[in-house]
């Protein structure tokens, strides 16, 4: 395995298992029930719950795509999470529905690692994100001028469609599509990427994770919109400064021990990294 901040000595507690399903994903609920049946066969009680409702849990299994896992990471920080992938990519939720029985056996026998992934947070409004926080102007029909400061010192203002503030985990998601770099998950860093900037000198910026990022609208920007992991959209008032920092809480992703399951292997398999196009 060659992925992120592993905690090999930490073990999953199977006392309270939550199976999280996404009501918007086809077959999510039926897959959650299949997981529950397999757990019951192995004398492990569990409870199913929609991704919008948090219940008391020591271990979380998600049935959906990466979006379902991202929701669970925000609801259950510091709780080990394992994903069954029903989506298209499955970069975070890696196991398939036909692998459920084998996955449960591996989990019970301890054939896994738990990876700690850094998260981001804002205090006003209060929100957290495992992948990224995206800030755009209040009007989606035109570009916005957004002012960036780090540790109280002004860096620049961007004339762009918005800004992406990403964790290393999120560097393979929206950030990558916007031209940002891929960051190894274990790195303690944050990536700032402008979306469709109107200046050629506006390039992605990689900074230490403990820096304090401040973003405010300037010029004719009458307000902003903020989204966490592309799911929660919040309206930001005019003249309000958004402060983004590393969260003291982490997401704990459970990864099974198996061949070709490391970060670089996933880049090749999931993103076709460096694969020449076929005729």
Rounded to the nearest angstrom, the gap between the alpha carbon of residue 241 and the centroid of all alpha carbons in its chain is 23
Can you say whether residue 120 is alpha, beta or left, with left for phi > 0 and alpha for psi between -120 and 50 degrees?
beta
HSE-CB for 123 with a 13 A CA cutoff: 9
Q: Spot the catalytic one: 5, 66, 132, 138.
A: 66
Let me know: does 276 contact 268? Beta carbons within 8 Å: no
Rounded to the nearest angstrom, the gap between the alpha carbon of residue 68 and the centroid of all alpha carbons in its chain is 10
Which residues are paired to 50 by β-bridges?
Answer: 21
Distance CA(69)–CA(200), nearest Å, equals: 35
- C-alpha distances out from residue 63 to 36, 68, 145, 242, Å: 11, 7, 39, 33
Which residues are paired to 49 by β-bridges?
Answer: 20
Distance CA(188)–CA(140), nearest Å, equals: 32
Let me know: does 189 contact 204? Beta carbons within 8 Å: no
Let me know: does 113 contact 92? Beta carbons within 8 Å: no
Let me know: does 39 contact 85? Beta carbons within 8 Å: no
Is 161 a residue of the active site? no
Q: Where are the beta strands (DSSP E) in the chain?
A: 5-6, 17-21, 46-50, 59-64, 80-85, 112-123, 126-129, 132-137, 144-150, 153-160, 162-166, 189-195, 205-208, 213-217, 224-228, 232-236, 242-256
Residues marked active site are found at 66
């Amino acid at each position: 395995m060659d992925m992120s901040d592993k905690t090999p000595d930490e073990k999953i507690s199977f006392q309270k298992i939550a199976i999280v399903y996404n009501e918007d994903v086809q077959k999510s609920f039926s897959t959650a029930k299949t997981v529950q049946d397999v757990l019951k066969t192995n004398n492990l009680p569990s409870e199913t719950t929609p991704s919008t409702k948090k219940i008391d849990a020591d271990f979380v299994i998600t049935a959906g795509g990466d979006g379902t896992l991202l929701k669970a990471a925000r609801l259950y920080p510091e709780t080990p999470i394992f994903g069954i992938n029903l989506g298209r990519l499955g970069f975070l939720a890696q196991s398939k529905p036909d692998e459920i029985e084998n996955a449960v056996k591996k989990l019970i026998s301890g054939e896994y690692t738990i990876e700690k992934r850094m998260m981001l947070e804002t205090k006003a409004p209060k929100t957290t994100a495992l992948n990224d926080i995206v800030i755009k102007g209040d009007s989606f029909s035109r570009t916005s001028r957004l002012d960036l400061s780090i540790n109280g010192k002004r860096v620049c203002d961007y004339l762009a469609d918005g800004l992406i503030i990403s964790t290393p985990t999120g560097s393979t998601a929206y950030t990558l599509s916007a031209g940002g770099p891929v960051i190894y998950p274990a790195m303690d860093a944050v990536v700032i990427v402008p979306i469709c900037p109107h200046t050629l000198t506006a390039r992605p910026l990689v900074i230490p994770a403990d820096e304090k990022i401040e973003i405010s609208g300037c010029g004719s920007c009458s307000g902003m919109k903020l989204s966490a992991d592309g799911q929660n959209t919040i309206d930001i008032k005019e003249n309000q400064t958004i402060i983004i920092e590393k969260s003291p809480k982490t997401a704990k992703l459970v990864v099974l021990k198996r061949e070709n399951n490391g970060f670089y292997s996933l880049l090749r398999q999931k993103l076709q990294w460096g694969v020449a196009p076929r005729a």
